[in-house]
């Protein structure tokens, strides 16, 4: 193998990993024409972060601004992937940036909900922990098995996860999950029943529109968290399987060395 810094690699399981120092040097020396930081999907990611930050700024005192900014930030999540594929600008940095932005944005809203609904604080804390742990474990299991994307799940590993990571299903479930949390947020601000604003509308008139949105999106949120549990369990099994395979290989190599000696 060539000793050029650009091709220096070390083996870790089934993945060729660029040496960390070489990677830092490459990122520092990248040209404008091939600057991963400035890829269009990543610029969309930065815009999402700014919008999410502004949403958090307004969260405690201006629900309209907060909701609009939060929803735009979430909707942009549907465009960065399309931009990456259309422009040939898919990147590991972009994939991680997207996931971290999603997790941090949702967690920030859940943190607010723990104060808005103190009696449900433990439940919201559990959802935060489950969301982070399942995605962290899943990302790591994807890396150690050489997958190009954490969204590529084989049906023989989990038919449920493979179906979930279908782009259409993923969008619907993630949107419904976020809308449920937004509905809980708005329920603290909107108290006018639909019957007072729209007139006679049947039994639903006794509810506010955020309450109705919560009832509609609640099952989607529940499904999303079932997916998180399955994802956590499958990722744990994959990592344990890799551990067992590596330990078996180490024992075989030790036995061969002992036999030669």
Q: Crossing angle of helices 77-87/40-58, nearest 10°?
A: 170
Taking only the tens place, the pLDDT of each residue in 127-173 is 999 999 999 999 999 988 888 788 888 888 899 999 999 999 999 99
Q: Measure the CA–CA gap between 179 and 169, rounded to whole angstroms.
A: 15
Active site amino acids: 102
Taking only the tens place, the pLDDT of each residue in 177-212 is 999 999 999 999 999 998 887 777 777 888 999 999
How many CB atoms lie under 10 A from the CB of residue 15? 13
Q: Measure the CA–CA gap between 131 and 214, rounded to whole angstroms.
A: 20
Give which of 106, 88, 109, 98 is closest to 44, Cα–Cα: 98
Rounded to a whole number of angstroms, the distance between the first and last alpha carbons of the chain is: 29
Check whether 3 has a pLDDT greater than 50.
Answer: no
SS3 assignment, position 5: helix
């Amino acid at each position: 193998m060539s000793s050029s810094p650009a091709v220096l690699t070390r083996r870790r399981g089934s993945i060729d990993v660029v040496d960390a120092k070489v990677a830092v040097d490459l990122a520092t020396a990248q040209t404008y024409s091939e600057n991963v930081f400035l890829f269009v999907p990543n610029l969309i990611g930065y815009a999402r972060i700014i919008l999410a930050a502004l949403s958090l700024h307004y969260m405690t005192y201006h629900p309209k601004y907060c909701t609009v900014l939060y929803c735009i930030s979430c909707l942009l999540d549907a465009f960065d992937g399309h931009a990456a594929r259309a422009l040939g600008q898919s990147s590991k940095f972009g994939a991680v940036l997207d996931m971290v932005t999603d997790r941090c944005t949702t967690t920030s809203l859940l943190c607010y909900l723990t104060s808005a609904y103190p009696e449900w604080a433990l439940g919201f804390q559990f959802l935060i922990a489950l969301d982070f742990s399942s995605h962290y474990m899943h990302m790591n299991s994807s890396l150690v098995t050489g997958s190009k994307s954490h969204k590529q799940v084989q049906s023989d590993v989990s038919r449920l996860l493979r179906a979930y990571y279908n782009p259409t299903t993923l969008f619907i479930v993630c949107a419904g999950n976020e809308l449920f949390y937004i509905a809980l947020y708005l329920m603290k601000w909107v108290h006018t029943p639909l019957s007072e604003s729209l007139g006679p509308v049947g039994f639903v008139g006794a509810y506010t529109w955020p309450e109705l949105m919560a009832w509609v999106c609640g099952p989607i949120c529940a499904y999303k968290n079932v997916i998180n549990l399955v994802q956590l369990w499958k990722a744990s099994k994959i990592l344990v399987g890799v551990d067992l395979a590596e330990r078996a290989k180490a024992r075989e190599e030790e036995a061969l060395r002992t036999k030669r000696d």
